[in-house]
Chains A and B, each alone.
Chain A
């Protein structure tokens, strides 16, 4: 039956995360942005509550909340993806950089989960049960290979019970602080996707070092690092899935599958930021325009607000749809890309419009509207990372034009 109401568990998670975002995250948001990082005591505090936020990233059998976080519906259907989308939106309403910095496996979680052997899952997810702050990371992008992931040039050569990795990875979220990073490398660049291998490279691996930490337009509190592999010796046991699993095309598919489950979440995150900007503008209008300004001016502003609201809303429903499909075990590559592409643009639109609605002070960093400046800088990358809007459209249109064989 068609239904758009959240279940009780989802409503609770939504209001809990919102409260956290409002009371804990927003107050440190501007400072964290200025300082390019989060206060350690904040991270420690968040770490204590991490199971509430990792939402399904770590399977139950390895100490996490697993798929159960969203509860099950009457027919026993899962809802972890949808619940994660709802939580992500609320957290990013608080601050997206904080979400990216939360201790946990991050983007490294999905490939370990979908490709890792039970022993590997136990070992790498087990890290997060130890005391202290722990992160995982995902290293695919290289200076010469972004959206065209098949073009990666980081090499791996077997040497006894180790692999020797050489290359540079860039724009890696939490790359410098991560306990381990899933690194994609190739045995033979000429083989394209078939040559890809995924390794879990642990901190302290000989030959593995941190390069520069990037300064960015937005999401400044989130760490974005360059990782350098110079004859890095990675144990053979860290090759995700073991050597046999690469006889098929699964190496590359594993990397891509990550995106089917994370793209709707990135869409949800974008909506969280867009909504924050929108609500700020809406509340500003409420106070400043409603009663004291001539009607035509008010109408123009009101219509503007309505347009932002419905674009964000349309985006949210696309995200929910993609997440719902993932929960039902349906192939959702097309819908995941639609959600991400649409949400990124809707949220950028919201952040730009919100500044205009508030006028010149809206673009001034030191004003009452300082958040608008931050959100405007934060949001742009949501149409870039995890696949640019153009890459999403390639994914979508390939599936629309399924009749074109060689497309």
Chain B
């Protein structure tokens, strides 16, 4: 039965996060941006609120809530400050990968640390992207079996929390001739020798989030750290990227809403030619178009999340939601700056930050072209060609 109404529990979470985002996050977003991180008390508060652990299963000590609830909470966080869901603690993309590729034992063991009451600074990371494409299909980072375990060598870049995460899941080539089917996923703890952090990267947006490089030189991890819940790692990774896309889409929707709301208010107050600029149809119609964008993006997002929670294949719907949300967010932020006129370009107003954040969010998951390739495969009923639907270094490396 079609319904657009969140459950009572969901509405409660939604309003709790919304009020925190309005009271704490939005007023301080420039502070977070300047400091390039969140202050401890904000990270603590977010962890206590539970938004850092929403989808971690009960077996690992998490609340085990569905993605349907997670996207609601993330829209609210991002409406406060889109950088917050990227900068806060939590398993993040590592969680998505472990959920899709780990055994039950690994899910429990690897995700439990994030649920500890004092784990507010605990972060996960996913190292997939590389600075340069490999010579042949697959990743240039390699994993070789040795007597002590798996030895990893290579360079990773654009890694969210790269160098500051307590646990990082690194993708490496296990079987070179197998190309993209020959990947392995390895969880590396921060204190393990052989992995060093490169310099932190400067980004166009999401300044409070930490993006860094990782260098692996003879880093040896035990077999137990190799995610071994599925046989086809490449396809499991595809599902993990789909999950990550859903989170990114939720954040894009939150950012779009904030950009829209701020701009609407401005159009009701800013005067030109003797009346508020909202009176002019060139302005008013732009707002109408952005609201159609925003609403449709949210319903697509909700529908994809509902399919995940129902255990149905949600690959196509998620890709549609992500592609739409990324484009919608970019338009929302672009028009927000445009309708603010010169004021939009000045940092006193936060719409310029939103425009930079929107571009960055769209690169924290497979980009629009890759999402559309996934949609097309689904529509045409063809098997995914991993080389075409993974955000590989040769297509377009993304922030992972």
Residues on A facing B (Cβ under 8 Å)? 1-7, 10, 73-74, 77, 79, 82, 282, 285-286, 290, 295, 299, 302-303, 305-307, 309-310, 313-315, 317-318, 320-321, 324-325, 335, 338, 341-342, 390, 392-394, 396-398, 400-401, 403-404, 407
Q: A314-B324, A342-B296, A404-B268 are in contact. Are A306 and B376 (CB under 8 A)?
A: yes
How far, in angstroms, from A316 to B1 measured CA to CA in the complex? Answer: 16
Contact A306 B5 (CB under 8 A): no
- Residue of A73, A77, A310, A341 touching B288 (CB-CB under 8 A): A341
Q: Which of A310, A324, A390 has the most CB of B within 10 A?
A: A310
Contacts of A325 in B (CB 8 A): 4
Residues of chain B from 39 to 71 with CB closer than 8 A to chain A in the complex:
68
A-B contact pairs, 22 of them (CB 8 A): A2-B302, A77-B1, A286-B380, A295-B388, A303-B369, A305-B379, A306-B374, A309-B379, A314-B300, A315-B296, A317-B300, A317-B303, A320-B299, A338-B295, A390-B285, A392-B288, A394-B281, A394-B284, A397-B284, A397-B285, A401-B287, A404-B278
Is B264 a contact partner of A401 (Cβ separation < 8 A)?
Answer: yes
Cα(A338)–Cα(B290), bound, Å: 10
Chain A contact surface mostly: helix
A8 to B279, CA, bound (A): 46
Candidates B3, B268, B292, B295; contact of A2 at CB < 8 Å = B3
Report how far A407 CA is from B288 CA in the complex, Å: 14
Q: How far is the CA of A4 from the CA of B298 in the complex (A)?
A: 13
Docked Cα-Cα span, A6 to B306, in Å, equals 13
Across-interface contacts of B289 in A (CB, < 8 A):
393
- 14 further A-B contacts with Cβ under 8 Å, apart from A2-B305, A82-B2, A401-B268, are A2-B68, A2-B302, A4-B2, A302-B373, A302-B377, A306-B319, A314-B300, A314-B324, A317-B303, A324-B2, A341-B292, A390-B281, A392-B288, A393-B288
Closest-CB distance, B254 to chain A (whole angstroms): 17
Cα separation A355 to B56 with both chains bound (whole Å): 47
* Cβ of B339 to closest chain A Cβ, rounded Å: 12
Partner of A314, one of B297, B374, B381: B297
B interface secondary structure, majority: helix
| Closest B residue by C-beta to A285 | B380
> How many angstroms between the C-alpha atoms of A77 and B284 in the bound complex?
35
| B334: Cβ under 8 A from any A Cβ | no
The reply to whether B373 and A318 contact each other, CB–CB distance below 8 Å, is no
Complex CA gap A313/B4 in Å reads 16
B264 nearest CB neighbor, chain A only:
A400
A285-B380, A338-B295, A393-B284 known; A79 vs B373 contact (CB < 8 Å): no
Mask of B305-340 contacts with A, CB within 8 angstroms, 1/0: 111000000000001100110000000000000000
Chain B residues with Cβ below 8 Å from A295 are: 388
Report the minimum CB–CB distance from B169 to chain A (whole Å). 29
Closest 4 CB pairs of A and B: A302-B376, A397-B284, A314-B296, A306-B372
Q: Is the CB of A3 within 8 A of B285?
A: no
Identity of the chain B residue whose Cβ is nearest the Cβ of A402 in the assembled complex: B268
Partner of B306, one of A2, A290, A305: A2
What residue of chain B has the Cβ atom nearest to residue A327's Cβ?
Answer: B2
| B residues near A318, Cβ cutoff 8 Å | 292, 295-296, 299
Chain B contacts for A394, CB-based, 8 A: 281, 284
Least Cβ–Cβ distance between A97 and chain B, in angstroms: 27
Residue positions of B touching A, CB distance < 8 A: 1-7, 10, 68, 264-265, 267-268, 276, 278-279, 281, 284-285, 287-289, 291-292, 295-297, 299-300, 302-303, 305-307, 319-320, 323-324, 369, 371-377, 379-382, 388
Q: Which residues of A contact B287 (CB under 8 A)?
A: 397, 400-401
With contacts A303-B369, A401-B287 known, is A3 near B1, CB below 8 A? yes
B373 near A299 with CB under 8 A, answer: yes
Decide if B306 touches A3 in the complex (CB within 8 Å): yes
A297 CB, min distance to chain B CBs, angstroms:
13
The residues of B that contact A73 with a CB separation of less than 8 Å are 1, 3
Cβ-closest chain A residue relative to B381:
A286
Q: Please name all residues of chain A whose beta carbon is closer than 8 Å to the beta carbon of B375 when the two chains form the complex.
A: 305-306, 309-310
* Residues in A neighbouring B319, C-beta threshold 8 A: 306
- Chain B residues near A400 (CB, 8 Å)? 264, 284, 287-288, 291
Minimum distance in angstroms from A68 CB to a CB of chain B:
15
- The distance from the CB of A208 to the nearest CB of chain B, in whole angstroms, is 38
Assess whether B285 is in contact with A401, with CB atoms less than 8 Å apart.
no
User: Considering the chains assembled together, what is the distance between the CA atoms of A286 and B6 in angstroms?
Assistant: 38
CB B355 to nearest CB in A, in angstroms, measures 21
Considering only CB atoms, which chain A residue lies closest to B368 in the complex?
A: A303
- Contacts of B381 on A, CB cut-off 8 Å? 286
Name the residue on A nearest B265 (C-beta): A403
Please determine whether A310 and B324 come into contact, CB atoms closer than 8 angstroms.
yes
The reply to whether A342 and B5 contact each other, CB–CB distance below 8 Å, is: no
A317 CA to B299 CA in the complex, in Å? 6
- Return chain B residues, CB-CB under 8 Å to A314: 296-297, 299-300, 324
Inter-chain contacts of A401 with B (CB < 8 A) = 264, 267-268, 276, 278, 284, 287
The answer on a CB contact under 8 Å between A313 and B288 is no
Residues of chain A with a CB closer than 8 A to B295's CB: 318, 321, 335, 338
Given known A79-B2, A302-B376, contact A396–B291 (CB-CB < 8 A): yes
Contacts of A341 in B (CB 8 A): 288, 292
Q: Give the complex CA separation of A401 and B306 in angstroms.
A: 32
| From A1, A7, A310, A315, contact of B320 by CB (8 A) | A310
Given contacts A3-B2, A310-B324, A401-B267, contact A303 B373 (CB under 8 A): yes
How far is it, in angstroms, between the C-alpha of A394 and the C-alpha of B299 when the chains are bound?
23
> How far, in angstroms, from A325 to B295 measured CA to CA in the complex?
14
A305 with B376: CB separation less than 8 A: yes
Complex Cα spacing A320 to B302, Å:
13
CB-CB nearest in chain B for A401: B278
Let me know if B373 and A7 touch, CB within 8 A: no
Write the nearest CB–CB distance from B386 to chain A, whole angstroms: 14
A394 to B279, CA, bound (A): 10
Closest A residue to B372 using CB positions = A306
Q: Are B276 and A404 in contact (CB under 8 A)?
A: yes
Contact for A307 among B264, B303, B372, CB less than 8 A: B372
Closest to A313 in B: B320
CB distance from A365 to the nearest CB of B (A): 27
Closest B residue, CB atoms, query A278: B379
Check if B288 sits within 8 Å of A396, measured CB to CB. yes
Chain A residues whose C-beta falls within 8 Å of the C-beta of B276 in the assembled complex: 401, 404
Known: A342-B296, A400-B284, A401-B287. A310 touches B302 (CB 8 A): no
Most buried by B among A4, A302, A404: A4
B4:A324 contact, CB within 8 angstroms: yes
CA distance A74 to B224 in the complex (A): 48
